[in-house]
Amino acid sequence: MNVLIVDDEPLARERLGRMVGDLEGYRVLEPGAANGEEALTMIDNLKPDVVLLDIRMPGLDGLQVAAKLCERDTPPAVVFCTAHDEFALEAFQVSAVGYLVKPVRPEHLLEALKKAERPNRVQLAAMTRPAAESGSGPRSHISARTRKGIELIPLDHVIYFIADHKYVTLRHEDGEVLLDEPLKALEDEFGDRFVRIHRNALVARDRIERLQRTPLGHFQLFLKGLNGDALIVSRRHVAGVRKMMQQL
């Protein structure tokens, strides 16, 4: 995969370039771009598969560059590499598939590049463009602060949300993260894709496999991606879950 590095600091470009060069299957497009205008020109000419994009730059900043890429039919995948962690919410609105906080660690860079390979560029644009263009509507990704920095989890990969005290656990295909968002706000935003099964749990509708009653009279919901584990459905939500499953 061809990778274009965009950063106004030459040393930052060099460091990222060395890290990418050490990874098998990735090639750095030299010399990289020092600002947003250069980035757009080089993207047009070189057609990179992935752009490692700084945010704070003179002229067009990284978010503005990514927003312009959203308007294209086949944009490259965008991974933000920035010293600032406060722009994650804006990042998923402009098609970002990764958000790395400097200093970038090699293992986190590789993980972000692998994530950029999952959807191809056309699929990524189709997945994120509606929310980016309208500036409203539900998000296509959920951002979470983890030991890696800011992770962006595609909504399609989310299995459930479970509230526990002040945090919400998001279970996705590759693990779990903690969110500092109220469960009710997530339900209001994603109610067409998730269903409440308990006062503290929302599950993805398209992950539901079966509803089963236990010998003790409790109800369990089995979900795709949980390897046979099940979640408890509260009695007050059983009827609603059954009705929803009949409509799937």
Strand ranges inside the chain, DSSP E: 2-6, 27-28, 50-53, 77-82, 96-101, 141-146, 149-154, 158-164, 167-172, 175-179, 194-198, 201-204, 208-213, 219-223, 230-233
Of the listed ranges 94-108, 191-205, 219-233, the least confidently predicted one is: 94-108
**Which is nearest to 39 in space by CA: 22, 61, 20?**
61
| Last-in-domain residue among 108, 137, 166 | 137
Query: Residue 69's domain spans which residues?
Result: 2-137
Alpha-carbon gap, residue 226 to 204, rounded angstroms: 12
Alpha-carbon gap, residue 95 to 64, rounded angstroms: 12
Do 168 and 118 sit in the same domain of this protein?
Answer: no
| Domain count along the chain | 2
Q: 71 with 12: CB under 8 angstroms? A: no
The pTM assigned to this predicted structure is: 0.52
Do 16 and 120 sit in the same domain of this protein?
Answer: yes
Looking up residue 14, the CATH number of its domain turns out to be 3.40.50.2300
Q: Does any domain span residue 219?
A: yes
Q: Does any domain span residue 191?
A: yes
Q: Answer yes or no: is pLDDT of 89 > 70.
A: no
Q: Does any domain span residue 148?
A: no
| Last-in-domain residue among 90, 113, 137 | 137
Return the amino acid letter for 97. V
Q: Does any domain span residue 71?
A: yes
On the CB side of 38, CA atoms within 13 Å amount to: 15
Q: Does any domain span residue 145?
A: no
Do 118 and 167 sit in the same domain of this protein?
Answer: no
Q: Answer yes or no: is pLDDT of 138 > 60.
A: yes
Looking up residue 159, the CATH number of its domain turns out to be 2.40.50.1020
| Last-in-domain residue among 106, 137, 168 | 137
What is the C-alpha radius of gyration for the chain, rounded to an integer number of angstroms?
Answer: 20
Q: What is the pLDDT of residues 186-198, one digit of tens each?
A: 999 999 999 999 9
Do 131 and 184 sit in the same domain of this protein?
Answer: no
Predicted local distance difference test score (pLDDT) of residue 238: 93
Q: 42 with 31: CB under 8 angstroms? A: no
Q: Answer yes or no: is pLDDT of 140 > 70.
A: yes
Tell me if residue 53 falls in helix, strand or coil: strand
Average pLDDT in the chain: 86
Integer angstrom CA distances of residue 115 from 39, 55, 168: 22, 20, 24
Do 11 and 75 sit in the same domain of this protein?
Answer: yes
Strands across the sheet with 50-53, in order? 27-28, 2-6, 50-53, 77-82, 96-101, 149-154, 141-146
Do 72 and 26 sit in the same domain of this protein?
Answer: yes
Question: What DSSP line would sit under 198-237, residue for residue?
Answer: ETTEEEEGGGEEEEEE-TTS-EEEEETTSTT-EEEEPHHH
Do 125 and 159 sit in the same domain of this protein?
Answer: no
Do 97 and 171 sit in the same domain of this protein?
Answer: no
Burial class (CB in 10 A: 0-12, 13-18, 19+), 164: exposed
Do 130 and 201 sit in the same domain of this protein?
Answer: no
Do 17 and 93 sit in the same domain of this protein?
Answer: yes
Q: Does any domain span residue 147?
A: no
Q: Does any domain span residue 144?
A: no
Do 24 and 126 sit in the same domain of this protein?
Answer: yes
Q: Does any domain span residue 235?
A: yes
Q: What is the pLDDT of residues 171-216, one digit of tens each?
A: 999 899 999 888 998 999 999 999 999 999 999 999 999 999 999 8
Do 188 and 218 sit in the same domain of this protein?
Answer: yes
